[in-house]
Each structure stands twice: as C-alpha cells, then as structure tokens.
C-alpha cells in the first residue's frame, strides 16, 4: 500500500493534532503494510517528520504575522492546492490521508481525520478566520473523502447528526499515549522539576492552550475558592502556549500569580513534560468540549488523579477513573479539586487504576487501526 500523509500539523509548539500527525508519520514509516510513505507539508514533499517540523515553523510564523488573515488563508489554500495537484498528477496507486480536517485535491482515494466540531459549536472561542475557513472547506472534504476518521465515538455521532455524514463513512480510531508518560519516583523527578521551581507532589497541574474552550477562567475561580492551606500546599501550575481571547483569564489569574498561588510555565519541551505530569499531586482538565482529551490520558498514564468534564468525549477517555464534573458549575469544580487533592482513599484508587487504563492506548494501536481503515478503503476499490 502506498500512502501520502499530509503533515502540515507537525509544527512547534506541538498541539494534540500535531502529536497525532507526528506519531502517524513515524508509525506508518515502520508499518509492514505500508510499502511506500510520502510526506507532504505546506507546498512540498519532505523527507521525514523532523524536516516537516523545520519547514512548518516558517509557515506558522508567517500565519501569525500576516495581515488580512482570512483573505491570506484562502490565497494560501488555493496556491497550496494547485501545487499539490501538480506534484501528485502523475502518481498512481496512492491513498491520501490528511490528519487535520481539510483535504487537498487528489484523484485517488482519500481519508481525513476530523478531531472535533468546536469551530461550529463554539465559534466564539476560535479566531474568526479559522471558523470561516472550516465553514467554507470542511463540507466539501466530508463529501469527497472515502472515509472520515474520528478520535472518539462522541465526535463520530456528532458529525453524523450535525453534518449528515453517513455512519457507514465514519470510523473511530482512538489516539495514543507515549510510554514516557508513566509513574516515576522522586529520584527521577527532583532535578528535572527543580529547573522549573517545582516540588514533586506539591502542585496542581493543568496542561492546555490558554484559550476559552479550555474553561480556565472557571477553573481558576474554583481553585481560588479552595481552603488557603490546600492552595499553599498545591499551587496551580499551568503549562501550555498562550492562545487567544484571554483578557478575562488574565484578570482572573493575575491576583493568584501575584501572590505566588499560581504560575504559568508556557510551552514546555516534550522531554520535560512527562516529568512535570508525573510530579503533580493532581491534574485538572475541565474543558467545555473535546474531540478526545489527550492530556487526560497522559495524566492517567502518569499515575496522577484527574479532574475533567463530564461532557463531550471526555467520559470516553476518563471512564470511571477520572473525576467528571459539570464544567459550567464552579461549585462542582471547587469540590472536585478538593477531592482530587485531599481525598486519599479516592486518590489511591485513581493512582492505581489510571496507568492500567492508559496501557490500552499505545500509539501503535492507533497506527494499526488507521492502516486497517486504509486497507478497507483500498479493498473497496475507492
């Protein structure tokens, strides 16, 4: 089987979609059923994921700084499509997979991964040019694709019910977790955490891009309502790039930062991140909406008690091990935070069960199930 994988999403800082594309690129390159893998990034072929990461960094910088973003994005999309068509015109016997929503024009069979419909459900939490882009281009992609992959059953149902995609066209393939996310002893953690001014077992961790859908404002208010002694023992530590539409978060978080009760570490190198997870006393991820919720799985794999939301795909990932609460209820968030930080019998069960659950989600499983979808498409003569 010959596969073209679009790797535009492999760009720093790696988000969940970027991590998914990177793991697919590595896994497909090693898979016995894939006789040839070609990677296409932006407007050219690239040799490997590292090459894609370097090439995409320049494109990402331009996107952040260019004026008239909606028009510029449409122009870029048009030019990229024309170049891709020119680069693939003579290729035969390939399947195209884009792991990031919108397909480029291609004469052979194609598959896309749609991770969520947040731009449609929560347009106010996205830059306007992104919403307009998906409104314009995603319906055509869903029509053209031979198969649409999703990360969760929840998103597959939503795509069917909201966008009318036939269920026969939908396949759910869960994401994976890297084995570097695992429980660790203090002997492994102390030096690495000291670099960031952290102490093992003495902070409440959040890993999320700072944007409205992650519900950080309500989380911070709930945290501020905890008993002072609990906050002193477990300051709030937020890891993740600064996103967009964050004025309210800045106002809410500012007093806690000024007092030392909260800190933002920004984007953390992927080698250090598993250690920061493993060193946390507890982990909070009360997002309003997720297509999967990879940080929840990473925290569980690390043996850390988790608070998350009881909506969207998150119950699929957290099952009955993570503590699920209504993300709009600040009292429920506060009570949940107190439980994951201070209820030792509950914490003990979560610490034991989390890694066992996460072991069911290796990236190799994600790659194998994705290849099985490719083979199904090829077998149907698409």
Per-residue pLDDT of the chain (382 residues; tens, 9 = 90+): 999 999 998 887 777 899 999 999 999 999 999 999 999 998 899 998 887 776 656 555 555 555 546 677 788 888 889 999 999 999 999 999 999 999 999 999 999 999 999 999 999 888 888 899 999 999 999 999 999 999 999 999 999 999 999 999 999 999 999 999 999 999 999 999 999 999 999 999 999 988 889 999 999 999 999 999 999 999 999 998 877 767 889 899 999 999 999 999 998 988 999 999 999 999 999 999 999 999 999 999 999 999 999 999 999 999 999 999 999 999 999 999 999 999 999 999 999 999 999 999 999 999 999 999 999 998 875 4
CA atoms within 13 A on the CB side of 150: 23
Q: Mutual orientation of helices 49-65 and 16-30 as an angle, nearest 10°? A: 160
Distance, in Å, from the CA atom of 165 to the CA atom of 142, rounded to the nearest integer, reads 7
Cα-to-chain-centroid distance, residue 237: 19
Which tokens hold the place of 143? Answer: 């029509």
Q: Where are the alpha helices (DSSP H) in the chain?
A: 16-30, 49-65, 69-88, 118-121, 128-144, 153-163, 186-194, 216-224, 228-233, 247-259, 273-279, 294-301, 314-318, 330-342, 344-358, 363-379
* Domains in the chain with CATH codes: 2-176+362-379 (3.40.50.2000), 186-358 (3.40.50.2000)
Sheet containing 306-309: which strands, arranged edge to edge?
262-266, 236-239, 204-207, 282-285, 306-309, 323-325
Cα-to-chain-centroid distance, residue 47: 24
Distance, in Å, from the CA atom of 29 to the CA atom of 23, rounded to the nearest integer, reads 10
Sign of the C-alpha dihedral, residues 16, 356, 371, 165?
A: negative
Largest CA distance in the chain: 67
Check residue 381 and give its pLDDT: 57
Please give the model's pTM, rounded to 2 decimal places: 0.92
Q: Which of 27, 116, 60, 9 is nearest to 371 (CA)?
A: 27
Specify which residues 113 forms β-bridges with: 149
| Three-class secondary structure of residue 245 per DSSP | coil
CA atoms within 13 A on the CB side of 153: 3
**Which H/E stretch holds residue 45?**
strand 44-46
| Three-class secondary structure of residue 238 per DSSP | strand
């Amino acid at each position: 089987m010959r596969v073209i994988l679009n790797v535009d999403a492999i760009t720093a800082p790696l988000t969940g979609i970027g991590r998914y594309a990177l793991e697919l690129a590595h896994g497909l390159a090693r898979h016995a059923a894939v006789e040839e893998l070609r990677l296409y990034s932006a407007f050219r072929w690239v040799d490997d994921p590292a090459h894609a990461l370097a090439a995409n960094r320049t494109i990402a910088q331009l996107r952040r700084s260019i004026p008239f973003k909606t028009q510029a994005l449409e122009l870029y999309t048009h030019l990229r499509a024309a170049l891709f068509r020119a680069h693939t015109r003579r290729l035969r016997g390939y399947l195209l997979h884009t792991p990031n929503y919108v397909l480029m024009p291609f004469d052979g069979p194609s598959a896309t991964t749609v991770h969520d419909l947040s731009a449609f459900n929560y347009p106010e939490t996205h830059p306007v040019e992104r919403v307009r882009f998906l409104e314009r281009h995603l319906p055509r992609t869903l029509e053209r694709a031979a198969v649409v992959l999703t990360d969760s059953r929840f998103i597959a149902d939503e795509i069917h019910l909201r966008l009318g995609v036939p269920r026969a066209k939908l396949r759910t393939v869960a994401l994976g977790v890297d084995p570097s996310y695992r429980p660790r002893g203090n002997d492994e953690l102390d030096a690495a955490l000291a670099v960031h001014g952290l102490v093992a077992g003495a902070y409440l961790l959040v890993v999320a891009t700072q944007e409205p859908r992650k519900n950080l404002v309500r989380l911070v208010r709930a945290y501020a309502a905890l008993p002072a002694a609990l906050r002193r023992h477990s300051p709030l530590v937020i890891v993740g790039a600064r996103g967009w539409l964050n004025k309210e978060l800045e106002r809410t978080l500012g007093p806690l930062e000024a007092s030392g009760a909260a800190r933002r570490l920004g984007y953390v190198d992927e080698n250090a991140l598993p250690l920061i997870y493993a060193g946390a006393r507890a982990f909070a991820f009360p997002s309003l909406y997720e297509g999967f919720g990879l940080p929840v799985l990473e925290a569980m794999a690390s043996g850390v008690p988790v608070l998350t939301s009881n909506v969207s795909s998150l119950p699929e990932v957290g099952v009955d091990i993570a503590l699920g609460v209504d993300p709009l209820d600040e009292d429920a968030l506060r009570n949940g935070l107190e439980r994951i930080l201070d209820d030792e019998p509950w914490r003990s069960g979560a610490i034991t069960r989390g890694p066992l659950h996460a072991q069911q989600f290796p990236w190799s499983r994600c790659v194998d199930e994705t290849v099985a979808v490719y083979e199904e498409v090829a077998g149907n003569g698409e």
